[in-house]
Amino acid sequence: MKIAVVGLGYVGLPLSLQFARSCITVTGIDVDPNKVELISTGQSYIRHIDSQAIAEFVDAEKFSATTDFSRIKDVEAVIICVPTPLTKNREPDISFVLNTGRSIAPHLAEGTLVVLESTTYPGTTDEDLRAVLEEGSGMKAGVDFHLAFSPEREDPANDQSKVKLIPKVIGGYTPTCLERAIALYSRAIDTVVPVSSCRVAEATKLLENIFRSVNIALVNELKSIYAAMGIDIWEVIEAAKTKPFGFMPFYPGPGLGGHCIPIDPFYLAWKAREFGKPTRFIELAGEINTAMPDYVIQRVTQALNSQRKTLNGSKILVVGLAYKPNVDDERESPSYVLMNLLTERGAEVEYYDPYIPVIKPTREHSHLAGKRSVQWDHATIKSFDAVLVATDHKCVNYQELADWTQCIIDTRNSMAFVKVAPGKVWKA
């Protein structure tokens, strides 16, 4: 069997490897020629994905990469894993999905299955994507070609999260479309979960991510309420976790990050407006989570005040630029927001992240492009007035941090297990 995976990012690359591992020949298609070049020479560009695995399948001719969409004509199925960000006005931007549809359509052979995996609002697959595929191919979905939606559930850098082992929800445009998609994924994934439509599958993914966003907002709010009462939210969560039923721990932080949780809920909020339905939980969670960086800056100010220092003119080190521990992904990272807020208030800001030695150009934080991570040594770390831990990478030596610096603002409870003098750590 031959398939194509379009979009070779954090989702598409591991998925391609899993299909290749399952004896399916995969053509990876991406608009980024650098990624295509790296894959073709057996190199990974994602830290937690091994170059060795890519090289092995490229050598065995089970996996190849190209920018050429005409290769679609030779495959039985096309899986789309392209970005679904928000526009500047925080509305869904499905242009990547639609452009991909337009590029695929002219090359679609009769009987091909097209599956969308990108997170999006209900109706994208059977309405928006279907329209561009039908228009560009002159064929009918459900009749001449098959169409399905199956959301990705990738959890980068989680060792337990193997593509093969994560159950895959699948919705088809017609019962036959569903059957085709089940047959495809069953070859590579242990458990498939069929649902009645593409829209149910799209809505399932949104429920999963909104659930996280709302629960993170809850603990973020409780963090500041309990802090005012002199109670440590982290200790409370550890105790609550011992309840064997009806409780699931979520952890506070400096704000939401990544390509999913800060973005996906607003796909539903936008679509719900079409139906005249308010999305109060989504909006409230968004409001609380977005306010977290301001809360953290207040704590930095208090911590410096306690040392008779002002934020204006202080040297602050932000530890952890990635949006979550142990990854090199800094998309939507709250660390950027913290760095901007600190700079606006007159602080001199540097960062340390062993996984991100230099900041790549981004649309939102173009002024930070080219900035380099500081070195990890006593003299450098000691030179800062305060250190703000924004992400708790496992490889950072927190004991050295405790020994080398006078003032630590900790948003991740990273100092919980190190020996540190009283008064040095400010939880935020």
Q: Which residues are catalytic?
A: 260
Q: Is residue 45 part of the contact set for ligand NAD (CB under 6 A)? A: no
Residue 261 CA neighbour count, 13 Å, CB half: 21
Q: Which of residues 86-125 bind ligand NAD (CB under 6 A)?
A: 96, 99-100, 103, 118-119
Question: How do beta strands 146-149 and 168-172 pair?
Answer: antiparallel
Q: Is residue 65 part of the contact set for ligand NAD (CB under 6 A)? A: no
Q: How far is the CB of 90 from ligand NAD (least distance, A)?
A: 15
Which one of 3, 4, 5, 7 is in contact with ligand NAD (CB under 6 A)? Answer: 7
Q: Which is nearer to ligand NAD, 84 or 391 (CB)?
A: 84
Which one of 4, 17, 26, 35 is in contact with ligand NAD (CB under 6 A)? Answer: 35
Q: Which is nearer to ligand NAD, 112 or 405 (CB)?
A: 112
Which residues does 11 contact at the CB level (< 8 Å), separation at least 6?
Answer: 81, 117, 118, 152, 154
Q: Which is nearer to ligand NAD, 126 or 328 (CB)?
A: 328
User: Which of the stretches 18-26, 29-37, 268-276, 373-381 binds ligand NAD when contact is defined by CB under 6 A?
Assistant: 29-37
Q: Is residue 391 part of the contact set for ligand NAD (CB under 6 A)? A: no
CA distances from 107 to 102, 104, 127, 379, 427 (A): 10, 6, 20, 59, 56
User: Which of the stretches 3-11, 127-135, 221-229, 370-378 binds ligand NAD when contact is defined by CB under 6 A?
Assistant: 3-11
| Stretch (H or E) spanning 79 | strand 77-80
Q: How far is the CB of 382 from ligand NAD (least distance, A)?
A: 36
Total chain residues near ligand NAD (CB under 6 A)? 27
Q: Which of 254, 378, 383 is nearest to 315 (CA)?
A: 383
Residue that has been written with the tokens 């994507």 in this structure: 129
Which one of 82, 268, 337, 402 is in contact with ligand NAD (CB under 6 A)? Answer: 82
Q: Which is nearer to ligand NAD, 28 or 194 (CB)?
A: 28
- Between CA 382 and CA 403 the distance in angstroms is 9
Q: How far is the CB of 259 from ligand NAD (least distance, A)?
A: 5
CB 145 within 8 A of CB 108: yes
Q: Which of residues 245-264 bind ligand NAD (CB under 6 A)?
A: 259-260
The size of the chain, in residues, is 428
Q: Which of residues 173-232 bind ligand NAD (CB under 6 A)?
A: none
Would the CA dihedral through 255, 258, 260, 266 be positive or negative?
positive
Q: Which of 299, 334, 301 is nearest to 227 (CA)?
A: 299
- Between CA 376 and CA 347 the distance in angstroms is 20
CB 256 within 8 A of CB 262: yes
Q: Is residue 330 part of the contact set for ligand NAD (CB under 6 A)? A: no
3 state DSSP class of 52: helix
| Stretch (H or E) spanning 201 | helix 198-228
Q: How far is the CB of 230 from ligand NAD (least distance, A)?
A: 37
Burial of residue 185 (number of CB atoms within 10 Å: 0-12, 13-18, 19+): buried
User: Which of the stretches 10-18, 210-218, 280-288, 383-391 binds ligand NAD when contact is defined by CB under 6 A?
Assistant: 10-18
Q: Is residue 332 part of the contact set for ligand NAD (CB under 6 A)? A: no
Q: Which is nearer to ligand NAD, 97 or 304 (CB)?
A: 97
Q: Is residue 169 part of the contact set for ligand NAD (CB under 6 A)? A: no
Q: Which of residues 118-157 bind ligand NAD (CB under 6 A)?
A: 118-119, 152, 154, 156
Q: Which residue is nearest to ligand NAD (CB)?
A: 9
List, as one string, the DSSP characters of 132-155: HHHHHHS--BTTTBEEEE------
Q: Which is nearer to ligand NAD, 12 or 171 (CB)?
A: 12
CB 40 within 8 A of CB 64: yes
User: Which of the stretches 78-86, 212-220, 297-305, 348-356 binds ligand NAD when contact is defined by CB under 6 A?
Assistant: 78-86
Question: How do beta strands 408-410 and 77-80 pair?
Answer: unpaired
Which one of 3, 9, 147, 217 is in contact with ligand NAD (CB under 6 A)? Answer: 9
Helices (H) and strands (E) counted in the chain, each on its own, are 13, 13
Q: Which is nearer to ligand NAD, 22 or 103 (CB)?
A: 103
- How many Cβ atoms sit within 10 Å of the Cβ of residue 357? 9
Q: How far is the CB of 156 from ligand NAD (least distance, A)?
A: 5
Q: Is residue 376 part of the contact set for ligand NAD (CB under 6 A)? A: no
Residue that has been written with the tokens 């968004």 in this structure: 286
CB 137 within 8 A of CB 168: no
Q: How far is the CB of 336 from ligand NAD (least distance, A)?
A: 17
Residue ranges in contact with ligand NAD by CB under 6 A: 6-12, 29-32, 35, 81-84, 96, 99-100, 103, 118-119, 152, 154, 156, 259-260
